Amino acid sequence: MPLEAGLLEILACPACHAPLKEQDTELICTSQDCGLAYPVRDGIPVLLVDEARRPE
């Protein structure tokens, strides 16, 4: 389910404050150094570092 228009523009990675991009059911940090992937559950981004998936 795509996020509401405009929401992605104001969200940032909680770990490094870089912009996020939507990919499938996750929000991916655009920073090369960080790259954390945050889950989106029932249309709600879970922006908790403890819940994020580390880059592969």
Rounded Cα distance, 50 and 6, in Å:
25
Task: Spell out a b/e string for 18-48, using b for 16 or more CB atoms within 10 Å of the CB, else e.
Answer: bebeeeeebbbbeeeebbbbbebeeeebebe
Cβ atoms of residues 27 and 48 within 8 Å: no
Strand blocks (E) in the chain? 20-23, 26-29, 37-41, 44-45
The per-residue pLDDT for range 2-49, each reduced to its tens digit, is 777 688 889 999 999 999 999 989 999 999 999 999 999 998 999 999
Q: Is the pLDDT of residue 1 over 80?
A: no
